[in-house]
Amino acid sequence: MDAERARAFLLTLPYVVETGSETRRWGDKLVFRVGAEESGGKMFAQFDFEEDGRVVLSFAAGPDGFRELQERDGVVPAPYRARIFWVALEGWNWFGRAELEELLRRAHALTYAKLPKRVRDLIGSGG
């Protein structure tokens, strides 16, 4: 899988909003949220466009997934987000397409489940 295929898959998930981020401190990112940020939506995945190539994709893994995935080659704790159980991939070739899609689907579901009910209701109604 590559960035374009992963992006296309992420955009098929319910309530996903894609935004860009260009900051000096954090670098260029493509951020995927469950719901819009203005509605209380939360990030669940992010592409990194750093020239140093340290990581290409980071996503929510939850406590169990965080421990399990770190045992795999090419997976590291996500910079600045490991404390909330995010992992990062050091390249696109560490997982097959189906496996990576399942991990991203799970990241989406974990994040959606943590949203307050009022936010879930709001994004479910198109807000």
Q: Which helix (H) or strand (E) holds 60?
A: strand 57-60
Query: What pLDDT is attached to residue 106?
Result: 97
> Given this model, what pLDDT does residue 104 score?
97
Intervals of the chain under pLDDT 50: none
Taking the model in full, what pTM does it have? 0.89
**Residue 23 has what pLDDT?**
53
Domains contained in the chain, CATH given: 3-124 (3.90.1150.30)
| pLDDT tens, residue by residue, 19-36 | 886 555 555 788 999 999
Q: For residue 115, give Cα distances in angstroms to 31, 60, 63.
A: 17, 14, 17
Identify the pLDDT of residue 95. Answer: 92
Non-local (6+) Cβ contacts of 47 within 8 A are 3, 6, 7, 29, 30, 56, 57
